[in-house]
Structure formats: structure tokens, C-alpha cells
Chains A and B, each alone.
Chain A
Amino acid sequence: MNAQRKYPPAPEEMTFEPKVLVVGGGASGILSAEKAAELGLSVVLIEKTEELGGKAAQLSFLYQSNLSPSQWLKDKISSLEKNNKVTIYTNSQLEKVNGQVGNFKVTLNIEGKKEEMDIGAIIMATGMDLSSKMPAQVEKGAGSFLSQMEFEKQFTQLASGDSKTFVLVVKEDDFLIGCINALKYSKKLKEANHNVYVFFDEMKVSEEGTEKLYHQVREEGVTFIRGTNNLKIGQEEGKFSLTTIDPQLPVKLAKELVINFDYYIFNEDLLPGADTGKLAEILRVNLGPGGFFQEDNYHTEPVYSNRQGIYFVGACRMPDLLHNVQEQAGAAVNSIYQLSVADVKELMEKTPLIDVIKCAYCLTCYRSCPWNAIDLLYEIEGAAWDGAPYLHPLACQKCGCCVAECPNRAISFPGYTDEDMQKEFKKIGGKV
């Protein structure tokens, strides 16, 4: 466990390892590594596949930007490779995490070899998985049906020629990506003189600029039809057609709308990466809605986990757009930086303190800390026996939960001791 032998360590003995572990070598990981290195922190970037880039490497273009994603990534990767603050390991995974913020002891599996490392903070950027289900059974011509990602990969080829008909179907989910992709494709396809129909359930335009884009492509002649549930796909002599009834019209007026199309593009189900659950266990962090890493806590920054020093950036917390991911990376790195320069002595004056002499080693505090800020330490001078609970001042969020649960009242919380509470109660009824 931690290297602290004295209990509790004196503030000046508490060091913050200025090294960040970034897990995942996709766009989110690359952006995080870049940000951390910018602030002078060393970075270890691990990627489980054999090369960096992740899903972003497969995109053909970015929303609201003329950069080519593959070129953009290549530039980023080569500058990371040149940066002597950054070490990159591919074919590598996170296996074990001990300790607390500032002094995590992580075990990595680097190309099959185990390696231990001291790490100050961890940024998870493990991305998401896509699952695409064909919208219909077709005998032949399955190539006309593409998920958004497949479409991206072949975009240049498919968008060549002109006057093809594209049907973009965006089924409702919890994320913005499907809609924004459809808008982004509509614009490009329209520029290349194709016919475009967009079927959607909810048009999500909360992202800056998307509403404008929506109006723009509408004016340019993209047809938007609400409702994706009653779409019938027909096939005749290798040609496909889509039949629907406009659900907005009263039944009497509603006429069947038949669209003959060349390509049917649908949004994938966005799922948390297959390892997310396992990693959550290794990291002792909570999972959020849908099994993503997102921590639904409006009191804290969106990139925070329920453990100080562990952050979620990019699609592993919630699928998002690249410029938002960039901001997340900034927020995570900033927080790491703040912690690395925090005045531990001052912090400790306000943090609960466990008196191991009074402790019954019942593990209640360890089990009931919502922030998993308590570790069990071994071979500690001054502790009655091994497994002494140690409340880490940098990891603690000062909620007092452990203080209240301790059966031996071994934890004292400056400002909220019995005496402090009694002083407050002395004021009852206007007495001072």
C-alpha cells in the first residue's frame, strides 16, 4: 500500500507525484495527455490496442471545423511522441490501483509485462463502444444500409456522383451525437447536390451553433420528418423505398409518403466500453446512468469521479463532441494541478483525523466513505495492528459521514466535534 510508515504522515511528508496516468489513446486521451504535459506534469499514456487514435481516427470530418480528423490526430500524436514529458505504451492495460490521490500505486500490464508505477492522478479516457443493428432484413443490397460510423469511413466515395437520395434516420437516445452527425452529413451531402431526408424523434440542438445549422440545411432543401417508429422499408428490383405517414398530420389528411433511396444511414447505439465495469471495480468508482463513467453530481465538476484524483474525460463518461472533450480534458488537468500544489498542512487542519489508538478496526469508516478516501494501511508505525484505516486529507471531501458512523468515536472532525456542536446548541432559545 502507501509508503507512509508513520501514522499519520506529517504534512511535509505528503508529496504529490507529478505524474498523470491517462488510460485510453483515443482523441480524449490524447487531448488529456497534451493538456497535462502543457502544465508541466509527466504523463503516462496507455492504450490497449496497438496504436493511438481510437474512434476519432475513423471520422472523415469534424463538426464545425475544416480540419481533417486523421491529419489532426496524426499531428497530435507525433507531437506527443516527441514530447519528453510523455511516455506512451500501446498494447497496455490498467490492472490494479492502490493508494490515494497524489500517491496512487498502479499496476500496468505493458505488452504482457506487469509494471508498478507511482502516479499522482488518473484520467480515464477509455471511450465507448458502438453497436449497429440493421434496420431491416434485406435479401441483397445490404450495402445500402450503413451506420453513421460506417458511413463516415466511406464518406468521400459514397458522396461522389450526384443526385443520390440519402435517408438519415436518427433514433432517439440520450446523446447529442446522432442528431449532430445527421446535420453535419446533411450539409456536406447537400453541398454535393444530393437529396437528403432526415427522420428523427427529437432534434437535439442544445449544442452551440447546431440550431443555426439545422435552419441552414432546411433552407438548403433537406427534408426533416419527425418520427422514426413507422418506417417501412420495401425492396423491388434492387431498389429500396421507405414508406411512412407523417404522424403530425390528422389521419384524414395523412398521406403515405414514399421515398426511393440509395442509402439509409442510421445512428448506432452508443454503449459504454466493454471494460468499463471492470475498470470501475479496479478504480473503486461508481458508474453512472447507462453504465457510463459519468458521475451525476451537480455539486462537482462533470469530469469528477467519486474519488479525488480520478477523472473521466470523453465518451467513457458520456459521448460528446470533440470541443467539449477538449474542455473536459482542461478541467481534469486543472483540478490535478490544483491538488498538486495544495497546501496539505492547511487542508489537514480542516480534515477529519482518525485516532488509531481509539480505533476498533471495524472498517465502518472504510466502508461508509462516499468518496473512498480511506485506505487500510499495513506496517504502520504507531498503529495498534495492521489494516489501520487511514483517511487521506487530499482525497477526503469533508462530509463527516465516517465521523458519524465510527462506533468508537475515533475520528474527530475539526469544527464539528462534540464540543463544537454543543457550543451551537448553547444558543438554543436565544441563549448565548
Chain B
Amino acid sequence: MIIGERKPLEEVFDRTSSFNKILVLGCETCVAVCLAGGKKEAEETAEAISLHRKKENQPVEVKAESVQRQCEFEFIDEFKDLMNDYDVVLSLACGVGVQTMVDRYPEKIVLPGLNTTFLGYPLEQGVWMENCQACGDCVLDKTHGICPITRCTKSMLNGPCGGSSEGKCEISGDIEIECGWHLIHERLKALGKLDYMEEVEPPKNWSTSFHGGPRKIVREDVKIVRGE
């Protein structure tokens, strides 16, 4: 799932300071689930903006709304009328949502209110962990379920490097980072498949990843083409 984090309020205030009618638009899917940009956060952010502006003696009209999925044209079309009443949309969806909005409402200014951080999952309530970088050519079968691209800081396919110590990655600073290849090793050991550690992986095809430019999937079997 997409994980995000609300932008620092100062940044939000700064970016919206020249507008007097603001629509804060949350998204009720991924970013709601990671407690960053759902309806509740939208209301909270709107209230913060309103208080800030009051304090600055620059009253503002601000409204909080949220949409099922901000990355779907049909869902955001619902907001057409409302959009006309506001100068700017502060979107609390991920970057995908912001851009979908811009695509649909090219004449509108849509600002991101959220930093889209990674693809991950909740380890427990309030803790999220990145574990996939959408490389487009999944190798989880080889490493038995632990992603070397994400969990290894250097995205090495033939790890670990010499910087792995006591299960920690050498780049660990104040925050300890687990060595992805240590995790893979432990997992392979538990499964009795340690011989994989001896195998040499050939270079990965990174063109399926972002390195090949923005990706697009076209599926003719599901595309609707009228008049054929």
C-alpha cells in the first residue's frame, strides 16, 4: 500500500498563504489507511489552516472533503461544482492523486499536502515499513520473500556487502537499519536453502524499473475501444 506523511504545517501554511478559498481534499483509500490523508486528517488540516489564518488576521474560507480514491477520474468528477468555488485544492492524497486531479482540472491549482513516502505495510498500529520499490521484475521467489532491492540499502542482488555487521547495515546512524541480506540469509537458513547464497545473480534488467523512464501498462484485452 502507498504510505505517506502529512507535510509539515509550516510548509502547508506557506504554500497556501496567497489563497483565500481553500479546499482540503483527502483520499479515503491508501493514505487514509496509513492515517495520513483521510477525512479526519483533512478536517484537522483545514482547522489548522483556519486557525493560522485567524492568527495572521487573514481570514480564509477553508473546507475539508474527501473522496473515495483521488486517482480515479470518475470519483473526482463528483467534485466539479465544489472545485469551482475554491481557488486552490490542497490534496492530501499521494502524488498519484494530486496529478490525477491536475489532469482532470487543468485550470485549477492543486497543491500536495502530503509527502508520498513509500510502498509498505504497517508493522503495528502507528509503525510503517517500506518493503517494495516496484522494480517491475520481482525477484522475491529467489530470496524467499525478502526484497533485496528494498531491504538492502544498496539494492544489491548478490549480497551481503562487507558492511553487514551483527545484522545491521553499515549506513545505520541514529536509526538502526537491518541488513537486508542478513534477513535473507536467516530466512534461507530457516528454510534449509542456504545454497542460494552461493549462486551468482546476473545483472537485473532495470529497464522495467524507473530507470527505463515512467512506466505504462497497456492491456488491449481490457481496453475498451469503441466502434470496432
- Chain A complexes with chain B: yes
Interface of A with B (CB < 8 Å)?
Answer: 358, 360-362, 364, 367-368, 406-409
- Asked whether B125 lies within 8 Å of A360 as measured between CB atoms, the reply is no
- Does B29 interact with chain A (Cβ within 8 Å)? yes
Closest to B37 in A: A407
Contact (Cβ within 8 A) A407 B33: yes
Q: How far in angstroms is the closest Cβ of chain B from A213?
A: 51
Q: Which of B15-74 contact A (CB under 8 A)?
A: 28-29, 32-35, 38-41, 43, 66
* A407/B125 in contact, CB under 8 A: no
Residues of chain B with a CB closer than 8 A to A408's CB: 28, 32, 38-40, 66
**What DSSP secondary structure best describes chain B's contact surface?**
mixed
What secondary structure prevails in chain A residues at the interface with B? loop
Q: CB within 8 A of B33: which of A358, A360, A409?
A: A360
Inter-chain CA distance A408–B27, complex, in Å, is 9
Query: What separation, in Å, do the CA atoms of A358 and B32 have in the docked complex?
Result: 11
Residue numbers of B with Cβ under 8 A of A are: 28-29, 32-35, 38-41, 43, 66, 124-125
B28 touches A368 (CB 8 A): no
Q: What residues on B are CB-neighbors of A358 within 8 Å?
A: 28, 39
**A364 surroundings in chain B (CB, below 8 A):** 35, 125
Knowing A367-B125, A368-B125, A407-B35, the reply to whether A360 touches B29 (Cβ < 8 A) is yes
Residues of A within 8 A of B32 (CB): 360, 362, 407-408
Residues of chain B contacted by A360 (CB below 8 angstroms): 28-29, 32-33, 38
Q: How far is the CA of A196 from the CA of B34 in the complex (A)?
A: 67
Question: What A residues does B39 contact at CB under 8 A?
Answer: 358, 407-409
Task: Give 9 pairs: A residue, B residue, CB < 8 Å, sorted on A.
Answer: A360-B38, A361-B33, A362-B35, A362-B38, A367-B124, A406-B40, A407-B38, A407-B39, A408-B28
| Complex interface: chain A residues within 8 A of B29 (CB) | 360
Considering the complex of A and B, which 9 residue pairs feature the smallest CB-CB distances, nearest first? A407-B38, A362-B33, A360-B32, A407-B32, A367-B125, A409-B39, A408-B38, A408-B39, A407-B40
- In the complex formed, the residue of A with least CB distance to B64 is A409
A residues less than 8 Å from B33 (CB atoms): 360-362, 407
A406 CA to B125 CA, complexed, in Å: 12
In the complex, A407→B38 CA distance in Å?
5
Would you give the shortest CB distance from A7 to chain B, in whole angstroms? 19
Q: Which residue of B lies closest to A404 (CB)?
A: B40
The smallest beta-carbon distance between A425 and chain B, in angstroms, is 12
A367 — which chain B residues lie within 8 A by C-beta? Answer: 124-125
Instruction: List A contacts of B34 (CB < 8 A).
Output: 362
Residue of A nearest to B27 (CB): A360
Chain A contacts for B35, CB-based, 8 A: 362, 364, 407
